[in-house]
Chains A and B, each alone.
Chain A
Amino acid sequence: MSEDEFVYRREFSAPRELVWRCLTEPAELACFWGPRGMSTPVEGIIVELHPGGRFETLMLGEHGSHRMVARFTEVVAPERLAWVESASGLHTTSTLDDLGDGRTVVVIHQRHVPEAMRAPEARAGFLTSLDKLEQHLAQLRQGDRS
């Protein structure tokens, strides 16, 4: 895994179809999208569930709002969903794996564009940031296992 990739895995005691609906229907997304301390009202969520379709969420909090604007790049119900955020180029893929016993594994995979961050001639500030990021990701991965 290169340092600008991120993988997060979680197992749910719920059938895959239900997990898929939660990840793709505005009324469901409004219940959990978050983040903490912010609400995501259903009116502010746009889901055009097809490749090229819009995926937008407006998150409201005490200290301001944050709008995520993305386009779906892949929609394969009920197993694969991917989108890319317009502003940052952050690409997120969710894979839903049916364990066959009513449980579903969700894997979130994110990768990021800026190749500049990987350039071999990168120095100083660059590397410091990447080191910190790598350490943080290592901690996150440890957290996942515990």
Chain B
Amino acid sequence: MPTTIEDQRLDALFTALSDRTRRDIVARLSAGEATVTELAEPYAMSMQAVSQHLRVLERSGLISRERHKQTRPCRLDPAALEAAVSWIEQSRRTWSARMDRLETHLAHRQERES
């Protein structure tokens, strides 16, 4: 199970992925890096709004932005996505163990009642 710091990181990650536009941006970047202008193109929203989305994605660690170029292209960090996937995996594994314990608990409960 993740610790509290890990929880905060995952919260930021899943918060970032909870928005459709941001998921679109992530999907788009998975094909290669892009500038803010390129990313803003398909949306009927201001550059400012797109930049806001990019800041949320950047904070979550899902994307990083080139510091040295004028256009500051964005690119995806696949490691962050893997963290999200492995969390889901872990949470699922938890169920198998939980059902084992429920089985034992039910046996005890029924012994007590009979």
Which A residues contact B (CB, under 8 angstroms)? 4, 6, 8, 10, 12-14, 18-19, 22-23, 28, 31-36, 38, 59, 61, 63-67, 87-90, 106, 108, 110, 112-117, 119, 121-126, 128-130, 132-133, 136-137, 140, 143
| CB of B12 to closest CB in A, whole Å | 9
Among A38, A117, A124, A143, which residue has its beta carbon within 8 angstroms of that of B85?
A: A117
B7 within 8 A of A: yes
With an 8 Å Cβ cutoff, the count of chain B residues facing the other chain is 50
Among B4, B18, B94, which residue has its beta carbon within 8 angstroms of that of A35?
A: B94
Among B14, B28, B77, which residue has its beta carbon within 8 angstroms of that of A121?
A: B28
Q: Specify the main secondary structure of chain B where it touches its partner.
A: helix
Residue of A nearest to B26 (CB): A116
B45 within 8 A of A: no
A90 touches B1 (CB 8 A): no
